[in-house]
């Protein structure tokens, strides 16, 4: 036995004292386990290729096991397990292996997620295991941008004209975002979302994101006057929503090209803030969390309450843009 199997959950062989219980991993093998040791630690120590995408932190569900015998010999679900059960409505005999220990006697269980195609990526011998590739929790500022009523414009113009307009806008906006430390993660038809990573200073990242949003709207105004109005007889309006929070960021390789992904509830909230621009008749909406991190010189004295899907009750948001219909 070596320390290789413990690397992702921060264990070393020296941590273990004598084994006291037996756990039968159905379809794998019988493993000895020390009181207080998690099921995941024991299975990895025995060389079982047990999926554990978040590294045993109780922040995914990939290590889950189905308890076949000996339910009462296990530790009670801790808060992390209770939260997961609530979110995913798991039955009581499904447990997170990284959060569950054996208190007495023997236990029989079965790993649930055990598709061979997962193994090479996460836990195999040549596993790709950098945090960026597997996914890591990071604090980020999320900016969602969307063009208002673009269907009307696209239906009235040639497809090549429409593509030209989108290309022109997004390349200009990308330059603005990058000059403020932002990066577009995904294009979504007539919109996109970008992230600003909080390296060490969350205030700076928030300020950069809000400043980028303001600069994008300012640039859009000038392009409307100098380009879209004279050449396309159209004024383009847009909505921007910004929120900050902890997300999971990582990479997915498709067709040998690495794509970055950013996921988590702050992403959904930023998207819904952008959606709320229409309801609140204002082109730029930021969450209270974002507003709290702004310097006084950038704060707004215009706020409103709005109901965001997935968030209980109305939340206070701040209006940073201009009305669509003054």
Binding site for ligand FES (CB under 6 A): 52-54, 56-60, 62-63, 96, 98
287 token code pair:
């969450």
Nearer to ligand FES, 110 or 148 (CB): 110
Tell me how far, at minimum, the Cβ of 249 lies from ligand FES, in Å: 16
Bridge partner list, 258: 253
At its nearest, how many Å lie between ligand FES and the CB of residue 179?
Answer: 38
Q: Can you list the alpha helix ranges (DSSP code H) found in 39-158?
A: 39-45, 79-88, 116-122, 131-134, 150-156
In residues, how long is the chain? 326
Nearer to ligand FES, 9 or 306 (CB): 9
User: Closest CB to ligand FES among 60 and 185?
Assistant: 60
| Smallest separation, CB 174 to ligand FES (Å) | 35
Buried b (16+ CB within 10 A) or exposed e, 170-208: beebeebbeebbbebbeeeebbbbbbbebeeebeebbbb
What is the C-alpha separation between 61 and 124, in angstroms, rounded?
19
Element (H, E) at 245: strand 238-254
Q: Closest separation between CB of residue 259 and ligand FES, Å?
A: 22
* H/E run at residue 292: helix 288-292
Neighbouring C-alpha atoms within 13 Å toward the C-beta of 100: 29
Q: Please report how close the Cβ of residue 56 comes to ligand FES at its closest, in angstroms.
A: 5
Minimum CB distance to ligand FES, residue 62 (Å): 6
Q: Which is nearer to ligand FES, 248 or 285 (CB)?
A: 248
Residue (45 or 291) nearer to ligand FES, CB: 45
Please, which residue, 58 or 181, has the CB nearer to ligand FES?
Answer: 58
Q: How many distinct helices (H) and strands (E) make up the chain?
A: 10, 13
Closest to ligand FES by CB, 59 or 219 = 59
Is 247 in a helix, a strand, or coil? Answer: strand
| Contacts of 225 by beta carbon, 8 Å cutoff, 6+ apart | none
- Cβ 114 to ligand FES shortest distance, Å: 14
Query: Closest CB to ligand FES among 98 and 244?
Result: 98
Say how many C-beta atoms besides its own lie within 10 A of residue 215's C-beta.
16
Contact, 238 vs 147, CB < 8 A?
A: yes
Q: How far is the CB of 162 from ligand FES (least distance, A)?
A: 44
């Amino acid at each position: 036995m070596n320390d290789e199997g413990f690397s992702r959950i921060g264990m070393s062989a020296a941590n273990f004292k004598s084994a006291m219980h037996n756990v039968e991993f159905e379809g794998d093998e019988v493993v000895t386990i020390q009181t207080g040791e998690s099921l995941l630690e024991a299975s990895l120590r025995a060389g079982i290729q047990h999926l554990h995408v978040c590294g045993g932190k109780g922040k995914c569900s990939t290590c889950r096991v189905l308890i076949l015998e000996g339910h009462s010999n296990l530790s009670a679900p801790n808060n992390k397990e209770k939260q997961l059960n609530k979110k995913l409505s798991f039955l009581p005999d499904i447990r997170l292996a990284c959060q569950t220990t054996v208190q007495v006697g023997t236990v029989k269980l079965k790993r649930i997620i055990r598709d061979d195609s997962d193994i090479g990526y996460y836990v195999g011998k040549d596993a790709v295991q950098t945090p960026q590739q597997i996914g890591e929790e990071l604090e980020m500022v999320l900016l969602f941008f969307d063009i208002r009523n673009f269907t009307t414009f696209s239906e009235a113009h040639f497809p090549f004209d429409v593509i030209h307009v989108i290309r022109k806008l997004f390349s200009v906006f990308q330059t603005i975002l990058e000059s403020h430390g932002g990066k577009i993660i995904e294009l979504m038809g007539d919109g996109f979302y970008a992230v600003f990573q909080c390296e060490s200073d969350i205030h700076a990242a928030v300020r950069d994101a809000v400043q980028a949003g303001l600069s994008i709207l300012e640039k859009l105004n000038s392009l409307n006057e100098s380009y879209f109005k004279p050449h396309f007889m159209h004024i383009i309006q847009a909505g921007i929503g910004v929120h900050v929070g902890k997300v999971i960021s990582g990479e997915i390789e498709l067709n040998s090209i690495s794509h970055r992904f950013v996921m988590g509830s702050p992403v959904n909230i930023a998207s819904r803030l952008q959606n709320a621009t229409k309801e609140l008749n204002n082109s730029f909406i930021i969450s209270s969390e974002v507003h709290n991190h702004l310097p006084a010189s950038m704060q707004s004295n215009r706020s409103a309450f709005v109901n965001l899907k997935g968030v209980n009750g109305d939340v206070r948001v701040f209006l940073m843009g201009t009305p669509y219909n003054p």
